[in-house]
Amino acid sequence: MEQEFETQFVTAGSLLYSVEHRPWLPPDGHWLLSQSCNDMLMMHYAMEPALIRALVPDTLTLELYDGMAWLSIATFCASHVRPSGVPPLPGLSFFPQLHLRTYVTFQDRNGQPRPGVFYLSVDTANLSAVWLARVFFRMQYWHASIQVKGATLGTRRPPDPWIHYRARRLHGPSAEEGPAALDLSCQPQGEPARARAHSLDEFLNERYCVYSWYRGRGYRTEVHHQPWPLQPVSVEVRSNTLGEPLGLKLTARPDLCHFSRTLKMLAWPPSSLRLAR
C-alpha cells in the first residue's frame, strides 16, 4: 500500500473536486445522500467461484482475482447521514451497519464495464434506514441488533485500543441454529495508506458503484469517495453465521483484513440496468 497525506474535505459537495482516482466520472446529476463511514472493518474470504456465482444474478458478471471469487464482510458506524440539501436528522444520521458483499461488473449500453459490489445482505440497527434503503435504493436491508464498543468516533484516543462488534439479525433469513450473527473484536495497527494499483487491496476496496437486485430487476447506485485509507488490523472472531442463510460456511480466520478509520461518501439515485446492444 502507498502512504500519502490525507486531504480534508469540508463539505460533502467538495468531494467532487477530486475525481482523478476514479475509473469513470461521477454522474452529472445531483447526489441523493451523503454519509461518513467510521471504524470500518473489512474481512475478506477467497471462495470457489461456483459457490458465489450461484448467489449472483445472471445479468451480472462475477469478478475474480487470481482465479478466486471474494466475499467480504464490512461492519462500520455510519454518521452524518443526510439527503442532499437537508441537515442530519435526529434518529436517522447515526447507526451501525453490516454488509455481506461480493464483486461484480456490468457492461451497459455504452459498452463500458463498471466494476462494483453486489450486496448479498445488509443489516442495520436503524429500522427507518431499512425502509429508506428498500424504497429509495432498491436494496435488501434487514433489521438487526448491533452493538459497537470502543469506537473512536468523537474521540482521538479511546481508552480501549480494541473495537468490539456484536450483531444479531432480528428480521430476515436465519442461520442454521438461530438468527444470523457476528461477534468479534479488532485492533487497527500501523499508518493508513491507499491501495497500490492493480493489487488485491485495490480490487477489494476501490469500487464506485453498488449493484442490487430487487423484485426481479437490477439496479446500479453510483457512489463517490476518496481512495480508502487502509490500515492493517488484528481480528478475533468469536462467532460468524452471516453466510449460513446463503448456504455458506465462513472460516473463523479471514484470508485478508483491512481497517479504515473514516471516509466520507456520496450516493446517487439508483438507475435500472440496461444491457449493451
Encode pLDDT of 259-273 as tens digits: 999 999 999 999 999
Answer yes or no: is pLDDT of 13 > 90: no
DSSP string covering 141-176: EEEEEEEEES--TT-SS-S-S-EEEEEEESSS-EET
Query: Is the residue at 116 inside a domain?
Result: yes
Query: Is the residue at 4 inside a domain?
Result: no
At 3 the pLDDT is: 52
Q: What angle do CA 243, 255, 227 make, to 5 degrees?
A: 95
Distance CA 240, CA 20 (A): 38
Query: Is the residue at 228 inside a domain?
Result: yes
CB 133 within 8 A of CB 126: no
Answer yes or no: is pLDDT of 9 > 80: no
At 153 the pLDDT is: 60
Answer yes or no: is pLDDT of 139 > 60: yes
Query: Is the residue at 3 inside a domain?
Result: no
Query: Is the residue at 131 inside a domain?
Result: yes
CATH number at residue 228: 2.40.400.10
Query: Is the residue at 169 inside a domain?
Result: yes
136-140, 175-179, 203-207 — which is least confidently predicted? 136-140
Number of structural domains in the chain: 1
CB 237 within 8 A of CB 192: no
Among residues of the chain, what percentage have pLDDT more than 90?
A: 64
- Residue 186 parent element (H or E): strand 181-188
Query: Is the residue at 17 inside a domain?
Result: no
Distance CA 42, CA 243 (A): 15
DSSP 8-state assignment for residue 245: G
Q: Comparing C-alpha atoms, which of 30, 259, 238, 35 is closest to residue 126?
A: 35
User: Cell triple for residue 18?
Assistant: 477530486
Answer yes or no: is pLDDT of 1 > 70: no
At 5 the pLDDT is: 40
- Domain of 177 in residue numbering reads as 31-272
Query: Is the residue at 10 inside a domain?
Result: no
User: Cell triple for residue 68?
Assistant: 478466486
Residues in the chain: 277
DSSP 8-state assignment for residue 1: -
User: Cell triple for residue 119?
Assistant: 450486496
- For the segment 19-72, what is each residue's pLDDT rounded down to a tens digit? 999 999 999 989 998 999 999 999 999 999 999 999 999 999 999 999 999 999
